[in-house]
């Protein structure tokens, strides 16, 4: 959020990350307290909508000279990176090429692994399906993976073809500091907050299950001790 509002003139406490973390807690608290994962469907749809709007923006920035003629969608003007001259030259658009180093490609593997970090929810989703047949589970997995892969490829290709090998690690940092980019950052922050419930749900379920097992073992042990005492008396 600080990166989103700083270009809009915000200053002081509004740029403190801790303030925004505290502001997100009232949203996070109910999301991480839901018992069933299907209760998160509306929050998840809203998060996906936010990511879809960011994807549309990145595609619009890469859509050629017609859109780039508009100051609002020109990725090569007024950049916060200060490397785009006003005459339209593109010194920040680096070379566009396929993978040139196997080692560099391997180093990016963790990014792809964590891109699909919600796979731990498949157990909860399977348990909550109306008819959890193998076919329906496979369909849910294939559909969700296809949507994720399609969006990742679209963002990756559009961002890379816009800036080439000069693209920043944070693709939004490559674009000019403008209200539309700030809006994209707000959407990204909102999607992270709304997705937190999905990330914490399996961990919470596992913890509650372990506590339940520990409580049952403790109660069984107590009954054994009480039985021994009763027989001894």
Question: Is residue 23 a part of any domain in this protein?
Answer: no
What is the Cα 173 distance to its own chain's centre? 17
8 Å CB contact between 182 and 7: yes
Residue span of the structural domain in which 68 resides: 34-196
Q: In this model, does residue 83 exceed pLDDT 70? A: no
Q: CA–CA distance from 2 to each of 6, 13, 189, 192 (Å)?
A: 6, 10, 10, 15
Percent of the chain beyond pLDDT 90? 0
Which class for 211: exposed (0-12), middle (13-18), buried (19 or more C-beta within 10 A)? exposed
d(CA 232, CA 217): 23
Per-residue pLDDT of 123-177, as tens digits, reads 788 888 888 788 888 888 888 888 888 888 888 888 888 877 777 778 888 777 7
Q: Averaged over 89-114, what is the pLDDT?
A: 71
User: For position 66, what pLDDT does the model report?
Assistant: 46
Q: In this model, does residue 233 exceed pLDDT 60? A: no
Question: Is residue 29 a part of any domain in this protein?
Answer: no
User: For position 105, what pLDDT does the model report?
Assistant: 75
Residue 89 binned pLDDT confidence (cut-offs 50, 70, 90): very low
Whether the model clears a pTM of 0.85, i.e. scores above it, the answer is no
Question: Is residue 87 a part of any domain in this protein?
Answer: yes
Question: Is residue 25 a part of any domain in this protein?
Answer: no
User: For position 64, what pLDDT does the model report?
Assistant: 58
Residue 85 binned pLDDT confidence (cut-offs 50, 70, 90): very low
User: For position 29, what pLDDT does the model report?
Assistant: 84
- Quick one: which of 96, 146, 80, 136 has its CA closest to 116? 146
Question: Is residue 220 a part of any domain in this protein?
Answer: no
Question: Is residue 2 a part of any domain in this protein?
Answer: no
Buried b (16+ CB within 10 A) or exposed e, 46-59: ebbebbeebbebbb
Residue 86 binned pLDDT confidence (cut-offs 50, 70, 90): very low
Per-residue pLDDT of 4-37, as tens digits, reads 777 777 777 777 788 888 888 888 888 888 888 8
Residue 87 binned pLDDT confidence (cut-offs 50, 70, 90): very low
Residue 231 binned pLDDT confidence (cut-offs 50, 70, 90): low
Say whether 191 sits in a helix, a strand or coil: helix
Question: Is residue 188 a part of any domain in this protein?
Answer: yes
User: For position 117, what pLDDT does the model report?
Assistant: 66
Which letter does DSSP use for residue 93 in this model?
-
Domain count, the chain: 1
Question: Is residue 106 a part of any domain in this protein?
Answer: yes
Least confident of 52-66, 81-95, 140-154, 209-223: 81-95
Longest dimension (CA), the chain: 98
User: For position 72, what pLDDT does the model report?
Assistant: 58
């Amino acid at each position: 959020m600080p990166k989103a509002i700083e270009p809009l003139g915000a200053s002081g406490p509004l740029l403190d990350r801790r303030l925004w973390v505290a502001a997100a807690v009232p949203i996070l608290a109910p999301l991480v307290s839901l018992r069933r994962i299907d209760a998160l469907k509306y929050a998840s749809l809203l998060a996906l909508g936010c990511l879809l709007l960011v994807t549309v923006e990145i595609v619009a920035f890469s859509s050629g000279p017609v859109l780039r003629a508009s100051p609002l969608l020109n990725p090569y003007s007024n950049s916060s990176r200060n490397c785009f001259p006003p005459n339209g030259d593109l010194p920040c658009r680096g070379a566009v090429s396929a993978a040139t180093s196997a080692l560099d490609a391997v180093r990016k593997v963790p990014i792809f692994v964590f891109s699909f970090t919600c796979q731990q929810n498949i157990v909860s989703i399977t348990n909550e399906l109306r008819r959890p047949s193998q076919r329906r589970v496979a369909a849910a997995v294939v559909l969700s993976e296809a949507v994720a892969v399609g969006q990742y490829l679209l963002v990756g290709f559009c961002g890379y073809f816009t800036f080439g090998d000069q693209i920043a690690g944070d693709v939004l940092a490559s674009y000019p500091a403008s209200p539309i980019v700030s809006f994209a950052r707000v959407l990204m922050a909102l999607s992270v907050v709304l997705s937190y419930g999905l990330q914490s749900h399996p961990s919470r379920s596992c913890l509650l299950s372990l506590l339940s097992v520990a409580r049952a073992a403790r109660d069984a042990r107590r009954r054994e001790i009480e039985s021994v005492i009763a027989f001894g008396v």
